[in-house]
Chain A
Amino acid sequence: MKILVCLKQVPAKDAPLKLAPDATWIREDVSYEVNEPDAFALEAALRLKEAHGGEVVALTVGPARAAQILREALAKGADRAVHVEGSAHLDAYAAAEAITRAIAGESFDLICTGLQSDDDGFGQTGVIIAELLGAPHATIIMQIEPAGEKRIKVKRELEGGNFQFVEMPTPAVLSIQSGINKLRYATLMGIKQAKNKPMAHTTLEEVGVAPSLNRQVLHKLFLPVKSKGTTRIEGNPKEQAAALLQHLRQDAHVL
């Protein structure tokens, strides 16, 4: 199976975020990492290749720094990578356009994305890629296996602890749920070998994608408005513990 995995570089989970001066995004001076659901998508693709053969291609759309997550993907076992470089902030539709245009001429059996990104959280890019390619899709995937010639069977997670198996023809697009598998670390050997693996480079300009393609506009970011009057409990840990218990007993009457 020839598999494309779409990865996004996002601010690290515990990075303190500061608003950029124009308030439409955060300041760039934070540490970055691969979007967690995308890491699970990569792992799922690598396991499919190991079990059934084929090729895994890692792709990202993002600024120069985003090449780091492609190097990590190559070190973990991806065969080659594609970097669509550009720093424009794209919505899910424009990102999907950039991805499908960058892979025009290649025919993948499977395209995997994470379920959603930890920054924008659109949760749409994979489904839009499927629509642009005219391919079937399934989301929130917890298991993937081939089901005969040019077919796959997946396990979808539904709400409230329910699941469902779905079969579909390939090429297909899957958005992968976190926790589908256990993530691997790159080995020293893998890191060495990654240096000799091909990384194709193109730009948003070359694929003809600009923010003018965005169908939604992010006007501003702000700290969420608190919906509750929250009591902050100050002091050292012992004082905080005592005060919390007192509030729970005497004000909230829940203990």
Chain B
Amino acid sequence: MNPILVVTEQKITAPGKFNPATWEVIAAAQQLGATLGATVVAAVLEAGDSGMAAECATRQLERVLHGQHALLAAYAPDVWVQTLEQIITQVQPSFVLLPHTYQVRDYAPQLATRMGAALISDVTGFGFEAGEPRFIRPTFQGKWAAEVGFARGDSADVKPGFVTVQIGAFRGDQAAMGAAAARVDAVTVTPQPSRLQAGEIFQEAKHAVDLTQAPIIVSVGRGIKEPKNLDMMRELAAALGGELAASRPICDAGWLPMDRQIGSSGQTVAPKLYLAVGISGAIQHLVGMKGSRTIAAINKDPEAPIFEVADYAVVGNLFDVVPALIAALKESPA
């Protein structure tokens, strides 16, 4: 079996530091490789040598491919596609695993298409059927899970199966360390300059609230229907001594400021209590809150994906349950 190639990623705001999703993908690749009898090779792409290749090589890997080029100083999709195309052509991997980050989502479909291959995105797990991996990914906003495989082509050519691994689906601390450091091979990459001109990375405004430090978060979603219903939610948050937060549609609609948004495009939080009210639990939201110690959810749809991560599930109309909760808290405060 040809090796599995893991594409590592730097933090967008801290060059030279790994995005921790990298270790999750290495853990996933090691698990996949254990069944397939495939080794794992990792690719580190950067402008110079920041020590990332050596850091990566402490994990249990067959080797680390270190691609260095001045054009890799900042991310650009066409530069990444050309560079990885060159690396993949050399390695001939059976699978290419990447973290399901915004950056990977931006270039991986282009890379897979250019190589005559397919990308199965958002993968949260895998199993095997007759020796072939079947990947699990969410569909219908996480209401259903799909079991997906790569179509078998007629060609005998190695066409790697590209897979993006959902953040948090595998544990980075389970990426096995090697007995000795893996070999680091410098690979020659010669990308052309990007057609895109990217400016500096910036933030719109300083976060007025740091939800990552809040011990209790009451988070609201589409289910609250109208902005005037936020008053009731503010009252609940106050009664619990917590902060008010929201899923993306609420902030998109301007009902709450963007700095109150929890999810992949907002803040990632891990409070001791996360109370999700009227939130169905699309994967982009779950990514931002599923590390919470205790999760309680109130939703009228018994099949809402939020209940899959909830410790306590209240199936009911929030407009009945929330006032009852506020009343009960007033009787005996939190």
Residues of A that sit less than 8 Å from B by CB: 11, 13-14, 16-17, 19, 26, 91-93, 96, 118-124, 127-128, 130-132, 136-140, 157-169, 177-179, 214-233, 237-238, 240-242, 244-245, 247-248, 252, 254-255
Bound-state CA distance A242–B22 (Å) is 43
Counting from the closest, the 6 A-B pairs by CB-CB distance are: A179-B252, A215-B118, A241-B324, A124-B109, A237-B320, A127-B109
Within 271-314 of B, Cβ neighbours of A (below 8 Å) are at 272-273, 283, 293-294, 296, 301, 303, 305, 307-314
The listed residue (A17, A160, A229, A244) touching B143 by CB distance below 8 A is A17
Most buried by B among A120, A121, A169, A232: A121
With contacts A131-B114, A168-B196, A218-B148 known, is A159 near B248, CB below 8 A?
Answer: no
* B interface, CB within 8 angstroms of A: 12-13, 77-78, 101-103, 105-107, 109-110, 113-114, 117-122, 129, 134, 137-151, 195-204, 207, 216, 222, 240, 248-249, 251-253, 258-259, 264-268, 272-273, 283, 293-294, 296, 301, 303, 305, 307-317, 320-321, 323-325, 327-329, 332, 334
Residue contact A223 to B303, C-beta cutoff 8 Å: yes
Q: How far is the CA of A91 from the CA of B148 in the complex (A)?
A: 11
Interface centre among A215, A229, A233, A245 (most CB of B within 10 A): A215
Q: Are B147 and A127 in contact (CB under 8 A)?
A: no
Q: Which residues of A contact B103 (CB under 8 A)?
A: 158
A57 CA to B200 CA, complexed, in Å: 33
User: Across the interface, which residues of A come within 8 angstroms of B313, CB to CB?
Assistant: 230-233
| Residue among A139, A157, A232, A237 having the largest count of chain B Cβ atoms under 10 Å | A237
Q: Which residues of B contact A137 (CB under 8 A)?
A: 77, 106, 110
Complex partner residue of B325 from A128, A232, A245, CB under 8 angstroms: A245
- Chain B nearest Cβ from A131, distance in angstroms: 4
Name the A residues within 8 Å of B142 (CB-CB). Answer: 224
